[in-house]
Amino acid sequence: MLKDVSFGQYYPVRSFVHNLDPRLKILFLIAYIVAIFLAKEFLALGICAALLVFGVAFAHIPAGKVLRSVKGVLFLVLFTAAINVLFYRGKTVYWEWGIFTVTFEGIMTSAFLVVRLFLLVICSSLLTYTTTPVALTDGLESLLTPLKWIRFPVHELALIMSIALRFIPILADETDRIMNAQKARGAELDSGGLAKRIRAVVPVLIPLLLSAFRRADELGDAMDARCYTDGKHRTKYKKLRFSWRDLIVFVLIAALVAGVSVMRVYPVFAL
């Protein structure tokens, strides 16, 4: 399961989405999340989903690889769906027993939330699939430049976020290797009750923490060896510049947010 972690993984291909300015992709992600939460009917979510499908297609990323990113939050999605189905009160009741009630409105609300969570995870994964950690750092630093006026350490914050994002798949792979090593020594990590599984995680966490500290120490030594100091007076090899591709995506962002906002005020089909 851990090998399917997609956050922080970069898929190296040449595509329309990969060539977009990282600043615009970050803004697009924020606007897309806002549009998802503004949507209150399936038609609006369908428009958001259609735009995301086009984004995945133009990114030249296999659909299966993108869908596997949902595995990490599948339990949360199913738990949220079950809670809404069993406890949402509505007019059309299908089944009722004690405090549990299954209604048409509850099923529709649950399906709406499931689609919303899927879109949130997939659009976030699309950003990391199409943007390198270095480009993310440059984009975040550029977007947060106004905070430098109040002496906020923008470069350091962007660097920390980029390193943390890059460490997610590394630590996931490390956890997978440790768990396989423990299983080879006879450890039962996937059997027993909840309490037994929690106790079985302890032998995995200790070597994982040691590995994380070791990697952080090695990263610090590598940065010192390259004479890295702070963000003051640092130059960049690649300058961020907007192109015609970014203009097209900016228009799509504006159209998406405007369209979903209008549909929120004047719904076509009420949920």
Residue-wise pLDDT for 189-211, tens only, equals 666 666 666 777 777 788 888 88
Phi, psi (5° rounding) for residue 74? Answer: -65, -40
> Does the pLDDT value for residue 55 go beyond 50?
yes
Could you tell me the two tokens for 85? 């189905």
Q: Which helix (H) or strand (E) holds 107?
A: helix 104-130
Helices 154-184 + 194-225 axis angle, to 10:
130
Residue-wise pLDDT for 31-51, tens only, equals 889 888 888 888 888 888 888
CA 180 to chain CA centroid, nearest Å: 26
Residue-range domain boundaries for the chain: 2-265
Residue-wise pLDDT for 128-164, tens only, equals 888 887 788 788 878 888 887 887 877 778 778 778 7
| Residue where the block lists tokens 């992600």 | 29
How large a percentage of the chain has pLDDT more than 70?
Answer: 85
At residue 8 the predicted structure's pLDDT band, cuts being 50, 70 and 90, is low
At residue 166 the predicted structure's pLDDT band, cuts being 50, 70 and 90, is confident
Cα separation, 58 vs 248, whole angstroms: 13
What are the DSSP calls for 163-192, one per residue? HHHHHHHHHHHHHHHHHHHHHHTT--SSSS
